Amino acid sequence: MKRKPSIIAPIAIFFALMLVIHFLSSIIFNILPVPIKPTLIHIPVIIASILYGPRVGAILGALMGIISVITNTVILLPTSYLFSPFVENGNLYSLLIAILPRILVGISPYFVYKSLKNKAGLVLAGAVGSATNTIFVLGGIFILFSNVYKGDIQALLALILSANSILELVIAAFLTILIVPSLEKVRK
């Protein structure tokens, strides 16, 4: 009887990688005077989703959301209440915005890649994973904290199509096509 491999090791490895990326990108983007500060922590979630399936991806996505809650609770920014119920003006919707989109980031790339199973599928899976984060976080803010955009759908769309979001999408797509084939070889 063949034993099913444990998912604990990949989750631990990818979670450690997420913490390192989060820590380093926080330092780099706060020290360097760059106008664009892309989110990079979602890339290991996307890659793990493709390699290990939606269950591992969803767990890592939830961990990404928890990192967001903790960060926005400890480091107070004007937008912290959108991601942490533990700060002034935060509420349960904050948890929803911080965690649910990130869980979806861990699920959507798997199904995109599974349906295509080629290099274009990897690029698209990386892009969809990144877009999932952007669209659902900003859309959640728009719906649940309507005062942020004052009901202005054009402002929401402008943010979704901003240079920051597009850069995140391109980086995620590029790194997915670059990293997944190498890791697939190692796994075999």
Residue 1 lies in a domain: no
* 8-46 per-residue burial string, b: 16 or more CB within 10 A, e: under 16: eebbeebbebbeebbeeeeeeeeeeeeeeebbbbbbbbb
Residue 37 has pLDDT above 90, yes or no: no
Residue 186 lies in a domain: no
Residue 53 lies in a domain: yes
Residue 35 has pLDDT above 70, yes or no: no
pLDDT digits (tens, 9 = 90+) for 146-186: 887 776 778 777 777 788 889 999 999 999 999 999 999 88
Residue 98 lies in a domain: yes
Residue 85 lies in a domain: yes
**Predicted confidence band at 29 (pLDDT cuts at 50, 70, 90)?**
confident
Residue 57 lies in a domain: yes
The domain that contains 45 carries what CATH number? 1.10.1760.20
pLDDT digits (tens, 9 = 90+) for 85-125: 999 999 999 999 999 999 999 999 999 999 998 999 999 99
Query: Could you give the CA distance from residue 65 to residue 1 in angstroms, rounded to a whole number?
Result: 37
Residue 2 lies in a domain: no
Predicted structure pTM score: 0.91
Residue 4 lies in a domain: no
Range(s) of the domain holding residue 117: 9-181
Specify the range with the lowest mean pLDDT, choosing from 7-16, 76-85, 128-137. Answer: 76-85
Computed over every residue of the chain, the mean pLDDT equals 91
Query: Could you give the CA distance from residue 17 to residue 8 in angstroms, rounded to a whole number?
Result: 14
- State how many domains the chain has: 1
Residue 2 has pLDDT above 70, yes or no: no
